[in-house]
Amino acid sequence: MFNYTIRRLALAVPTLLFISLIIFLVVTLAPSDPTANLPLSIPSEVRQQIREALGLGEPVHIRYLLWLEQFFWNEPRHLLEEAFGWNLGAGDEPRILSWQTRSPVVDLILERLPQTLWVVGSAYVVGVLIALPIGIISAYRQYSWFDQLGTFISMIGFSVPTFFTGVLLIVIFSVKLGWFPSIYDTTHKVTDFSSFMFQVRQMVMPVSVLALYNAAQISRFMRASMLDNLNQDYVRTARAKGLTERVVVLIHVLRNSLIPVVTVIALGVPTVFGGAIITEQVFKVNGLGQLLIIAIQGGDVPTVQTLTFIFAVLIVLFNLIADILYGILDPRIRYD
């Protein structure tokens, strides 16, 4: 298992470096000018100085290495110093600054992270909790009306884009019925029961939009995986031993079918962050996705670069987690 983990880790590092290079090159080689938004009265020499002060005079490979050092060495130290009050010698070193707000990008991200985690995280948990029972029942009663309905709903779930379901929910529940607020208020603090209820009410719509989307995909995987296992010989053996149907399905079959589903769930986490960009935009949640959109519209290269790369790190990290989980759950994989 240890060997297997090490092998996976060794594969993750070049992947991450390659992705960082692609992101860096896309952003760097693009013909956009950070001084384009400054007043036209600034003379061109001064513009040139501004560009050089931003580090744009160096050759590309030097800038890439400097960026890597900044991202993997300086910023983590700053983060640790702030979090625990240690002294790691990072105090005076420059940080990755946003061109829009002139504050460190990492601070901006930390400000936005809780909202995204709350909405996206709870949506994913809800989605998984809905998807697993639906998948199990659909497979156990294959071609029943429940299975047909489940298939239809999951088809809708991944055909109807989240920006339409979100807008539709707003039209029905905020505009017509007035049950839920259409804009997510992130300054809201939960202090007592009524403010807690408000928080629940404003989370209902974004969470259900994302949960429907996730549940649609995971329930399909769960169903397929259950169907693969239900016809196996060990299931017949279990039934022949006289085990109750409940034990056969929920213990023997379910545990084996969950192996691929667990990895699918792990692989889905980072894509949810990406997909949440749209949902955040619909419900005006000021999370990471909205930060990315604002930064893109403002031509804020450091923020865009850092955020995109953080999304990439998440993908590689969860790929790694999925691989290792698969290795733990299924011993056959380890000795490949």
Partner 1 sequence: MTDTMPSNAELEAIRPPRSQWWDVWDQFKTHKGALLGAGFFVLVILAVVAGPFLWHIDPTYIDIRARNQGPSLAHPFGTDQLGRDTFARMLAGGRVSVAVGVTAMLLSLVLGTAVGVLAGYFKRLDGPLMRLTDLFLALPLLPLLLVIIMLFRDTLRAAFGPEGGIFILIVFVIGITSWMQTARIVRGDVLALKEREFVLAARSIGTPPRRMIRRHILPNVLSPIMVSATLGIANAIITESALSFLGLGFPSDFPTWGRLLFDATDYLQQYPERVLWPGLAISLTVLSVNYIGDGLRDALDPRIRGR
Residue with tokens 């031509």: 299
Out of 1, 9, 22, 60, the only residue in the binding site for partner 1 (CB under 8 A) is 22
- Rounded Cα gap, residues 184 and 170, in angstroms: 12
Query: For partner 1, which is the closer residue by CB, 78 or 220?
Result: 220
Number of residues near partner 1 (by CB under 8 A): 46
Write the DSSP symbol of residue 97: B
Write the DSSP symbol of residue 28: H
- Rounded Cα gap, residues 87 and 204, in angstroms: 43
Among 107-115, 131-139, 224-232, 305-313, which window interacts with partner 1 (CB under 8 A)? 305-313
Query: Is 26 near partner 1 (CB under 8 A)?
Result: yes
Query: Is 27 near partner 1 (CB under 8 A)?
Result: yes
**Which residues inside 154-213 make contact with partner 1, applying CB under 8 A?**
155-156, 158-161, 163-164, 167-168, 170-171, 175-176, 182
Query: Is 149 near partner 1 (CB under 8 A)?
Result: no
What is the closest distance, in whole angstroms, from the C-beta atom of residue 94 to partner 1 in the complex? 23
- Rounded Cα gap, residues 120 and 178, in angstroms: 24
Position 159, amino acid: S
| Nearest in space to 158 (alpha carbons), one of 209, 205, 207, 116 | 209
Query: For partner 1, which is the closer residue by CB, 314 or 329?
Result: 314
| Nearest in space to 211 (alpha carbons), one of 203, 200, 201, 202 | 203
Query: Rounded to a whole number, what is the distance in angstroms from the first to the last CA of the chain?
Result: 11
Among 22-30, 39-47, 134-142, 195-203, which window interacts with partner 1 (CB under 8 A)? 22-30
> Distances from the Cα of 33 to the Cαs of 29, 47, 158, 191, in angstroms?
11, 10, 39, 46
Query: Is 277 near partner 1 (CB under 8 A)?
Result: yes
Query: Is 307 near partner 1 (CB under 8 A)?
Result: yes
Among 1-9, 13-21, 118-126, 324-332, which window interacts with partner 1 (CB under 8 A)? 13-21
Residue 326, token pair as written in the block? 């698969």
97 forms bridges with which residues in the sheet?
A: 104
Among 42-50, 135-143, 150-158, 244-252, which window interacts with partner 1 (CB under 8 A)? 150-158
Query: Is 18 near partner 1 (CB under 8 A)?
Result: yes
Q: What is the 3-state secondary structure (H, E, C) of 234-248?
A: HHHHHHHCCCCHHHH
Query: For partner 1, which is the closer residue by CB, 121 or 299?
Result: 299
Task: Point out which residues bind partner 1 (CB under 8 A).
Answer: 15, 18-19, 22-23, 26-27, 30-32, 155-156, 158-161, 163-164, 167-168, 170-171, 175-176, 182, 270, 274-275, 277-278, 281-282, 292-293, 296-297, 299, 304, 307-308, 311-312, 314-316, 319
